[in-house]
Structure 1
């Protein structure tokens, strides 16, 4: 597995590299935002450890640009920063980060989070590898989703989803009509290795809605069940 370390404090970067190398990860270090964007399509990392405060372009901008790159590998992103305020965590996750750690951190915990992210998979899904509703067809083996827009029924497109967005939609499609609360979705997507705020679920629901809902502020497919959680309907 390839891990790109984007950190301008070289002592911290080399410490992370040492621990990950000892766990048999292949690593590279970039010390600025522009260098990370240049190296990303060449190194093709499975996961990026991305410091928020880096020169050239900050981590939020680097994260957002990577998520917008067409045709590139879509890595997990672990945001790393000295800032611990809640608003910074929410902003980082809303730009496409999958997890968030605050400095100072334990290198062993960092390795555990990296492994947890890379182990993400659907847990306990039905035996069938394909699920179909009126507007969605999902192939769990190929990790692909075909989408028929409800307002353009003659057009079928392949959705461009991040790994977490795919797993989230697959969970909903596997159990249509079921109401999920945040802890249940966290267990389904992250398992026992989740670290962070339960509200990260809301952030990823909002991102997924932007890609599948004709009108995200008035969702047709992923409904909010007030005081409980979310339910998929199609």
Structure 2
């Protein structure tokens, strides 16, 4: 039984879809001890057998499910159920990670992962999805970084537009934007961005940064093909310009 500071009815239900029985058991125990209701499943078929309304708040999916493609399952869940998705990846899955970024997974964790970080990531994704059982920090105490007509709330890890509506970011997108905002007006090489993102992306190929930059521009730029904030300096890297309006 889960325990923590939430009633059972409010505990987020997380499907753990992984063919590794030991990992399922370990993650299920971790989640149960931190206010979640785990639902361990060995494969995608078991999840899909729950029906079109599976009663799950988030799907935690292994990219390398035995005999099937975790990305295919993730895309199907995204298109038919609208459930937030966090992917578990191995160190040798560079192309899958890139494809996963392009299909819009809410977040990624690389194996082996830090248990506290996994819990924090799951809570952040569920909070962004509006789950009532996840506590939201007080915005009045937030640290805000503004650029153009947008604001990054570093306490709540939210990107807000001029109407205070949240623009959803994945964890990697958030960390990339926050790093740019801490170093405005400076050309930042791609290698520095890879280093900063650390265990998220340190084993990815260079194209990953390009994918993240493209996704981030779609969310922060009025015309993504003509960026005014997140600009490219060919052969050098990227530079973030704050003092403009979009």
The TM-score by the shorter chain falls in which range?
A: 0.5 to 0.7
Q: Is the 8 A contact 2:145 2:152 kept in 1?
A: yes
C-alpha distance in structure 2 between counterparts of 1:60 and 1:211, whole Å: 23
Q: Measured at CA, do residues 192 and 139 of structure 1 come closer, stay the same or move farther in structure 2, by a change above 3 Å?
A: closer
**Counterpart in 2 of 1:107?**
none
**Counterpart in 1 of 2:41?**
29
**Counterpart in 2 of 1:200?**
208
TM-score, scaled relative to structure 2: 0.61
Residue 5 (1) aligns with residue 16 (2): yes
Q: CA deviation at 1:211?
A: 1.7
Q: Measured at CA, do residues 195 and 85 of structure 1 come closer, stay the same or move farther in structure 2, by a change above 3 Å?
A: closer
**Counterpart in 2 of 1:131?**
145
Number of matched pairs: 204
Q: Describe the superposition over 1:59-82 as per-residue Cα deviations: whole angstroms up to 9, x where unpaired.
A: 32443466679996x55322469x
Q: Measured at CA, do residues 6 and 68 of structure 1 come closer, stay the same or move farther in structure 2, by a change above 3 Å?
A: same
C-alpha distance in structure 2 between counterparts of 1:4 and 1:14, whole Å: 14
**Counterpart in 1 of 2:112?**
111
RMSD of aligned alpha carbons: 4.2
C-alpha distance in structure 2 between counterparts of 1:216 and 1:192, whole Å: 24
Residue 143 (1) aligns with residue 157 (2): yes
Residue 96 (1) aligns with residue 104 (2): yes
Q: Is the 8 A contact 1:3 1:49 kept in 2?
A: no
**Counterpart in 2 of 1:170?**
178
Q: CA deviation at 1:223?
A: 0.8
**Counterpart in 2 of 1:125?**
none
SS in structure 2 of the partner of residue 196 of structure 1:
coil
TM-score, scaled relative to structure 1: 0.63
Q: CA deviation at 1:141?
A: 0.7
**Counterpart in 1 of 2:136?**
none
Q: CA deviation at 1:187?
A: 2.9
**Counterpart in 1 of 2:87?**
77
